Every structure is written in structure tokens, then in C-alpha cells.
Structure 1
Amino acid sequence: MTDLESILTIPQLLAATATRYGESMAIEDDSVHISYHRLDQLRRQAARALLALDIQAGERVAIWAPNVHEWIVAAIALQSVGAVLVPLNTRMKGSEAAFILRESGASLLFVIGEFLGTDYPSLLSGEALPALRMRICLRGAAPDCLGWDDFMALADEVSPAELVVRESQVDQHSLSDLLFTSGTTGKPKGVMTAHGQNLRIVRDWSAMVGLRPGDRYLIVNPFFHSFGYKAGWLAALMRGCCILPQQVFDVPVMLERVARERVNVLPGPPTLYQSILAFPERGRFDLSSLRVAVTGAASVPVEMVRRMRSELGFETIVTAYGLTEACGFVTICRPGDSAERVATTSGRAFPDVEVRCVDASGNPLPPGEPGELLVRGYNLMQGYFNNPEATAEAIDAEGWLHTGDIGVLDEDGYLRITDRIKDMFITGGFNVYPAEIEQVILRYPGVAQAAVIGIPDERLGEVAMAFLLPASGQQLDTGDFLAWCREQMANYKVPRRVQVVDAMPLNAAGKVTKDTLRRLAV
């Protein structure tokens, strides 16, 4: 196989791993077992089908589905023809997904027919999607959706030689994906990253956590998130692992799979490990195959890390910090770091990635002093899609990305995230942006003002709490309001508590002081 350093695009990676790992299993998805050789065949077939549909280089293609093997085939196929992957969160409501489809200008959508009782294609009925010209059902069937088998059959219309030409036009600078993240403005922004930078950072990540050929990697993190995509199936394919997709986070089902399928690698947010450790019947399952755990996205109790080693048998436990604007990766602990270091820091910067903490004037701070975390390196995004103003706001003239997170670096360069300038909080591993929820809440009849904060939650880390100021003369029923929220937004964004107030606490500039609300919540 070609040296990993010389592989610059995702189609090159798949061709190389097919040669190297051949009949070794790449994906086991229930009864469907796909070898590396077969995965490369399926990728090429799906890529030729996309050419039959006249998908051009640079066109955006969206995927809205849970963790299934067809998701991976569709993604690597569209990336092979130079199209750009736009993953959609399966928890989104129709209007939220439609917004991203419009913003990205996606021309084609791969969608699951039904998942957890929801008919996904029907969620988009009535939404204006002028650029979307084709929908393909990965599984199941739906009106106006081409079935997966019929889609794959389109490959017969295109010669392998045509695909070779198109693949040769994809290079390390070609966009590989457009992942939408929410900012403080409350409007999701599309983060553009390229083939070469993603492969380089994933190569380093997978080496540091010690992925090995033949490792059985249970991917519970959603494929639509950079954790489940880049540190998930892309890293697994790079290192010759076997991907075991898991559609739903269900502790007994997961433990049963770990025991039955001899899982070695199990990354996830801290809630995943806390749920396993708290599961009363854990002793019934043989978890001795577990070796690698990677976590982050929230504070990690030191005792949890110790118990993961002693009770769950993990040899390698690392924590990391990343954000979509940096290909998902910024810092990581190294194997062998102490339980304290793993629990209390997010590791140190990846090779050739720089981090610094600065004061309000942008001056670098000495170790131990908290300040805004800045990141610079090859892993930074190409910018926000169709949004040069926001890009210029995020990345300064010297090439530093301003993360909006407050951190402290120690003498050895290990990072501790202490707060978030942007008030973002994390619910069960998902980033939650109060401004986005506030914008939705303001559509509720009778609400004059709304403010959202994160409050502690034993299971999910933090959850949303909403403060509502009623319009003059209006009464607000909190039960009705919460029921409405559940219909309007993804579950992880829905406020778990609500308080009606007579007045919002404001600062001199007229902005709501969230610190006052946090004290009020307590």
C-alpha cells in the first residue's frame, strides 16, 4: 500500500486500502459484511451512478440518515467524483434540515426512508428546495425517491474510464465536506474543509490513539458529526479496522454487541461511559476485548477515567478538544498520560497545529492564565460557505482562528477549557447554541423576550433552560410552551426547564446578563 503520507484524497485512500486489506472486513452492519475490496467496488459503482445523474465536481450532496453502511458508500462515492458531502443531523425537524439544504445549495439528497418511527422524506414536504433535483432512499421507499438498488444500477450507463478521469481531477485542495455548525448569531454556518487536510489530521489522530488493522470499531457517534465521521469511519478505513455502525445509543444493546462482536475501540462522549459504568447488569457482559476509549466534549470526572481502566479494562483512554472549524481536531492527550491529566485537560496540540491563549487585546498569555483560545495550522477550515464576513471575523490576518472558548495552557502545553465565551453548552455530546434556540422561541405566541442558558444535568452534562418574558397582557402556560418546543426543534435543543420572569436582567449595553440567569436558575 502507498505510504499514508502520500495519500491526498479520499478516493486514493479507498483504492489503497482495498489493495492492502483486500478481503479483510471493512464494515459489518447486521447481516451485511463488506470487505475492503468489496467496499471499493461499491464506492466505484455508486460514483459512476452519480456521474450518470450528472453530478459535477463541487456540487453539494447531502446525507440524512443514521449510522448505516449505505451512508459510508454514498459519502465516499460522492467524494470520489469531487462532490462535497453535506451531512444532516437525524434529530433535525424538516424546517431545520431544509434550511441547511437551501444554504448549501445541495442538488441531491440521500435519505433514510423511516427511522425510529419518523418518515424522513415526508418531513420535507412543503419546504421550498429550489436546488434539490433528486432524492435517493438509502433504505426503504418513499414517493419521489429513487431506491438504493435502482440508483446503483445507473452505474451501467457510465464507463469505469469516465470515473478514472473524474477521480484524477480531485486533489488535496478539493472540498471534501461542508459541515454546518451553529454560531452565536443562531444561523448555522457551513464549514468548508478539503481532502488533504482531513486525511492528514485523521492520520495523526488514528496513530495517537493506536488504531490497528483488524480492530473492531463500534461507532456510536453519529456519522453526521465530525466525531463519528472523521474520528469514526474515516479513521477506521485509514487503519484497516472493521466498522460496526450503531444506530441508537442503547446501553444493553451496546454491551451485548461489545461482548458478541469483540469490540476493541469505543469512543464517545463522557455520558456513554457513565451510562455503561452505571448499568446495573454490566457484569453479565464480557467486555475484555475493549482497548481504546476516546472522549471529550464535556468535563470528565477523574474517578470515571480510573473506573474505565479498572472496571472496563481500557488500556488507552484519551481526551481531546476540537471544533468543526479545525477539521474536528485541535488537541489530544497522549497514550500513557495520567488519569488526572486525561480527566482534567484536553491534551496538547496535534503536530504542526499551534494553540495559544490571549487576553482581550489579543496578547498571548503565560501558562496558567485563562484567555480566549486561538488555533492556527493546516487543519483550519477553508472558510464559511458563502460567508466571507463571518470567515474574516473568525480567522484573523495572522491566520489564527478565534474559537470563542476560554482556556488555560499549562507549562507542557496541555489545554484546559474553562468556559465558553459564546455561551454554548453541550448536551449529551451535541453542541447547543442558546441564540439558535432563542430565535425559535421568539416565534411562540405571547413571548416578548427569551433567553436560554445551560444548566447541569446528571445524565447529559448540561441541558437548556429557557427564561421567558411575556408580551404585555399575555399569560404563558409553561406546559404548552414545552410541548410546542418539542415539535419545533431537535430533542437535544429542547429546554428541560422554563421560568417566566417579570423582567430580563440587562447590562448597560442592553444585553441580557446570562450570569444573573445562571444564579437565578440555581
Structure 2
Amino acid sequence: MIKRIYIIVGGQVTMMMEISKLEREISKLEPSCCNVNGTSKEVKKSYIHGCTNAELLFDTIGERLRLAAKKFPDREVVIFKKEGVRKTYKELLKDCENLATGLIHLGLNKGDRLGIWSPNHYEWIVTQFASALAGLVLVNVNPMYKSEDLWYALTQVGIKALIAPPAFKNSNYYATLSEIIPDLHSYPEGKSNLKSDVFPKLQHIIIFDYEDRVFRGAWKYSDVVKMGTEDDRVKLSKIEKNVMPDDPTNIQYTSGTTGKPKGATLTHHNIVNNAYFVGRRAGYHEGRTIICIPNPLYHCFGCVMGSLSAVIHFQTCVFPAPAFDALAALKAIHEEKCTALYGTPTMYIDMLSHSEYKNFNYSSIRSGIIAGAPCPATLCNKLVHELGMKDLQVCYGTTETSPVSYMSICDDPPEERIRNVGHIMDHLESVLVDEQGNVVERGQKGELLVRGYSVMRSYWDNEEQTKMVCSSDRWYHTGDIGVMNENGTVSIVGRSKDMIVRGGENIYPTEVEQFLFRHPDIQDVQIIGVPDERFGEAVCAWIRLHHSSKVTETDIREYCKGKIAHFKIPKYILFKQDHEFPKTVTGKVKKYEMRKITTFELGLENVASHYNQL
């Protein structure tokens, strides 16, 4: 991801290698020479290590929150503009303690999974830090998830309690819960204690107090924060002493090599240090910083790069609206005099092109972060010269690496910073390898691997998939193809996996394919990503129907609505015959050829790609 400009490109494996072989390759770091017309040329390998004098932290999230509340009790830590909520560090800590003791009163124990399924509300932040205090594992559930996605999220990691608002915009959270838990309405109002054969782990649903009503089978959030007794506070104190930096604290769903998303399990040590070192490189430790965060908290970018980094460096976060609103973000910068701005490329495009863009003052901005997708150079230039992000920084990372692995430094000129994803982060190692696992020379393409404190603990309860991306010597295989420059910076030139990155959302084609396969009229379906000017990529479906079927594009989209997140619903639907699918001699579909064919058929040849092919 990024700091000032933050780019996250998913993570995945396509190549593995023997441990001893990779170690031997890296150990050959002495420059080798070759004679060319009587001259010698130094050959440098694509390996880099983040040397630093700054020590790693060995603190928990709860310890960092308490430290901030002690040092700056009256400094504002979060401002939620649409809700009119402004909280100091002292107030946030108190609210977090109240929720933590309430959850303990409900029977949640250290290590239990607590889900948060919500847009950006103050309760999200309280849940984030309260779960850390109580030794719980916070599970970030995408607020756009519908019934199918939510079903999977609840069961895959065994969520014991779920916190959510009743509804937001087109998402009716309580109605979706009622859909997958049909007997929810048989429970008393304002009480949960669920006993479901479908979700045996799920015991409690907690609903925000945003409507003047009480829901059956669900606690009111305001009641839970009042439940804690003196005994519960004693228990909280004991739990905090037993929470260790290496304990898991956060599960974030990430697209994988096959099938459904997996739960990347991150420890306190993972994300505390990543937030700390990103903040240091961004200069948050050197002066007062007010960060405008219009992007979602459920992403690593929002809750690690944003709220956690701010707390660790005693700074302030401003959330313009529960969901992205370009005008709200522009107003927030103006009214709160924000010094840093976060967002995906799509968000920045929408803000810069908004009809009221020129009506506000952005002179306070000095830095920014773009995350979730590669950033076009032209957009970066606009951010520097039009929005005033003189300290613009580009970063690269994955959820599995907590997330930032590379980040530019402000000592480099802005025009240099936007050409690549920056320098390796402190205390991390990185190497680029070819398909045989050999370390490539600088200037050559290779798969990017990362090793160090930031590599996730595992995919939750999925040892097989964990081993596919993390070798036994702890190298994490990103699946992304890069080139290491002479100065050690890296340029990402593509990715070796099929994952689609749409406006910062990672979409794994197999997941959408498996869902559409359930449609009775669909005989075959293949999902690919095609160029899109606004989102970077758009979802396209090649569908082969049963011969007698009369299904239309509208029918397919209606079938998807309310069942899968809207960003997974194909923008383009092409009905094809079997012979039109390009295949290998063994019958495997060639998605690369499909993308080329589709780009031509849809007239997207001139739509710029985010990747610079070297």
C-alpha cells in the first residue's frame, strides 16, 4: 500500500522453490563481473533488506492506545463529520473499555472472533480497539456483503459475535441477517443469545442505535456498553496482561489462489509495527498530522494505515462520511484543515473532477496516500501539482503483509517517487525470482517475495493454503511481477494471478464463477477483468447458456443482486458458444486470450491500463 500515495496490489503464489535453493541464491550477493569488449560489468541481484536504526515495537494495540491516552488525553483522535462525533483519546479509551467489558459480560473470551460489519461509523473504531483490549480477534466484514458473502464470512472463521448497524443506503443489515437466520424473529426484542444449527459459533448480534427501535434476536449497542460490571473490569485488566504481541488480533478476508476468500490472520506485532513504520516514513512522528480518510475501515488501508497509525503516532483521523462521498471529502479537508488525504485512484479521480472542487481551500494538504490499486502517473502529477501533495509517497503491499512492503521516501524528487512503488520498508527483506526460483538480476522481471515481521501468521484454519503462499523459510509469495531498479526501488509491471482489482476491491474470478454456476440456465461461465477508465478494471463474464435458454443480461444481473456484493456483479456479460472459448490443447481456458478478445470486442483498446508493461 502506500503512504502518501498508497498502492496495494493483491497477493498470491504462482511459483515455489526449495528453501536451500533460494537461500543459496541470496547468499551470492558478492557482485559478479562479466567481460564485454574488455570491460567489466557488475551484476546486482534483485534482493534488498530494509536496514534501519529504529527498533521494532513489542507492544499490543491496547498498550499503544493507553499510551496515547496518557500522553495526549485531550487531543482529538477521531472526527466523524456526518455523525457529528468528535472524540479525544481519553474519551475513546473510556468508550473502548466500556464495550470491552460489555463483550466480556456476554461471555466472549480471549481469542474469540468478533465481527464488525459496517461502513465507517464511530462504533467501528471503538470495536477495533475494544477487541484488542479484550484479546479478541476482530474480523473485518465488508459492509457491501450480501447474504451469500455474509454466510461465508460468519462460518469460515467462526464468528461468535457480530456488530452492525441496522441498515445503510441499499444495505439492510438486519434484513440480511434475518434471511440467513430464519428463526431470528422468534427471539425476544433486544436480546440475542442465539442457538443456530446453521451458525453454531454465532451467539450474539449487536445492532447500533441508529433507529428508534429494538430488534428481535439482537442486543442494542448502547445496552452492551452499559453491561460491564466491576467484576468484568477486573477480568479485562487480567486479560490485558495476558495479551501478547504475537497473539492474533485481526482477520481480513483476501482473495486467494482458488475459490473463496481466505482469512489472513494478523498479529498485534504485524500491524502495530507496520502502522508504526509507515507513519515514521510519512513523517507522522515529526509533527502534527490530521488525516482525512474517506476510504473504508474494513480494508487494511483504513484500519492499519489510518486509525492505528494515527493512534501510534498520537495524531487525528477525519472520516468525511460512512461511505465514500467526494463532496464530503472535499468539505472535510477544507473545514478540518487536514494535512494528509487517503483514497483509491478512483476516489481521487472523483474528487478532482467534482463540480464543486474549486470551491474549497486545500492549502493545508501536504501529503496523501493512494491505496487499493496501481496509480496512473498522470493522476499522481495532478495530486502533487493541483492538490498540493508535495510529500506524495507511493507504496506497495498486500493484506498478507500487514500491508506495506515498499514505500517511497520524501528525499527522492516527486517525479521519481511516482515511477515506482518505493523502497523496501524497515526490517523487511524482498527478492525477485524467476519461474525456476532463481533470483533475477536487477532490471529483469520476477515474482516479488517478502519476508519479515509483517508476514501474516497464517490463513485462519487453512494450513494448506498458507503453505502455498508462505514457504517454510517464511518468504511470502505475492504473485505480483516486478522489476527491481538499480537503486533498490521496485516497479510493479503486472500480476501472475487472475485476481481483478476494481477500484480498490479485490475480486477473485473463481468465486463469482462458482456463484453463477448455480444459475439453472448457465452451462459454463468464465470471469475476467477488462480495462475500465474509472475503476482500473471491470468484471466481465463470458457465459455459455443451455441451448433452449432465453436468459438475458438483465436476468443475470437480477440473479446476482442482493446475493453477492455489487462490485462483483459483471459490468459486461457476453453470451458465447463453446467453440468461441480459447483453450489449450488440454482444454484449459486461456483467460489471457479472452481478455484480448474482449478488449477488442468492447472497444476498450484505448482505455489506459494501470500497469506499465516494461
- TM-score, normalisation: structure 1: 0.96
1:414 CA displacement: 1.3
1:215 CA displacement: 2.2
What's the CA shift string for 1:53-74, capped at 9, x where partnerless? 1211111110001111111111
1:229 aligns with 2:282: no
Higher RCO (CA-CA < 8 Å; seq separation 6+): 2
Matched residue, 2:269: 196
1:322 CA displacement: 0.9
Distance of 1:412 and 1:432 partners within structure 2: 33
What's the CA shift string for 1:359-406, capped at 9, x where partnerless? 111111111111211111111111111111111111112221111111
1:341 aligns with 2:416: yes
1:483 aligns with 2:573: no
Matched residue, 2:539: 464
1:214 CA displacement: 4.3
What's the CA shift string for 1:458-482, capped at 9, x where partnerless? 1111110110112344343122112
1:259–1:287 contact (8 Å) kept in structure 2: yes
What's the CA shift string for 1:167-199, capped at 9, x where partnerless? 000011111111111213121111111111211
| Partner amino acid, structure 2, of 1:242 | T
1:299 CA displacement: 3.0
Matched residue, 2:202: 132
Aligned partner of residue 15 in structure 1, secondary structure: helix
1:51 aligns with 2:104: yes
Q: Sequence identity, in percent?
A: 30
Distance of 1:94 and 1:340 partners within structure 2: 45
What's the CA shift string for 1:204-248, capped at 9, x where partnerless? 001111225642222112111101110011111111222222312
Distance of 1:22 and 1:214 partners within structure 2: 15
1:427–1:462 contact (8 Å) kept in structure 2: yes
Which is worse superposed, 257-266 or 103-112?
Answer: 257-266
Aligned partner of residue 231 in structure 1, secondary structure: helix
2:105–2:232 contact (8 Å) kept in structure 1: no
1:297 CA displacement: 3.3
| Partner amino acid, structure 1, of 2:268 | H
Residue 514 of structure 1 is aligned with which of 564, 567, 591?
591
Distance of 2:137 and 2:554 partners within structure 1: 42
Aligned partner of residue 291 in structure 2, secondary structure: strand
Distance of 1:338 and 1:490 partners within structure 2: 40
Residue 145 of structure 1 is aligned with which of 218, 225, 241?
218
1:299–1:344 contact (8 Å) kept in structure 2: no
Which is worse superposed, 500-509 or 52-61?
Answer: 500-509
Matched residue, 1:408: 483
1:118 CA displacement: 2.5
List aligned pairs for 1:36-75, cutoff 5 A.
36-75=89-128
1:297 aligns with 2:367: no
2:147–2:179 contact (8 Å) kept in structure 1: no
Residue 15 of structure 1 is aligned with which of 49, 53, 66?
66
Matched residue, 1:374: 449
2:400–2:456 contact (8 Å) kept in structure 1: yes
Aligned partner of residue 478 in structure 2, secondary structure: strand
Matched residue, 1:240: 314
What is the number of residues matched between the two proteins?
520
1:164 aligns with 2:237: yes
What's the CA shift string for 1:101-146, capped at 9, x where partnerless? 1111011111111111432022022423221101111333532211
| Partner amino acid, structure 2, of 1:185 | T
1:300–1:344 contact (8 Å) kept in structure 2: no
Distance of 2:501 and 2:56 partners within structure 1: 34
Which is worse superposed, 29-38 or 207-216?
Answer: 207-216
Which is worse superposed, 168-177 or 333-342?
Answer: 333-342
Which is worse superposed, 508-517 or 229-238?
Answer: 508-517
1:485–1:495 contact (8 Å) kept in structure 2: no
| Partner amino acid, structure 1, of 2:513 | E
Aligned partner of residue 162 in structure 2, secondary structure: strand
Which is worse superposed, 73-82 or 477-486?
Answer: 477-486
List aligned pairs for 1:111-510, cutoff 5 A.
111-127=164-180, 128-140=198-210, 141-156=214-229, 158-211=231-284, 214-245=288-319, 246-503=321-578, 504-510=581-587
Residue 102 of structure 1 is aligned with which of 155, 162, 180?
155
1:20 CA displacement: 0.7
5+ long unaligned stretches in structure 1: none
Aligned partner of residue 509 in structure 1, secondary structure: coil
| Partner amino acid, structure 1, of 2:77 | A
1:318–1:335 contact (8 Å) kept in structure 2: yes
Larger Rg: 2
Distance change >3 Å, CA 428–CA 484, structure 1 → 2 = same
1:347 CA displacement: 1.2
CA-based RMSD of the aligned residues comes to: 1.7
1:316–1:336 contact (8 Å) kept in structure 2: no
1:5 CA displacement: 5.2
1:162 CA displacement: 2.3
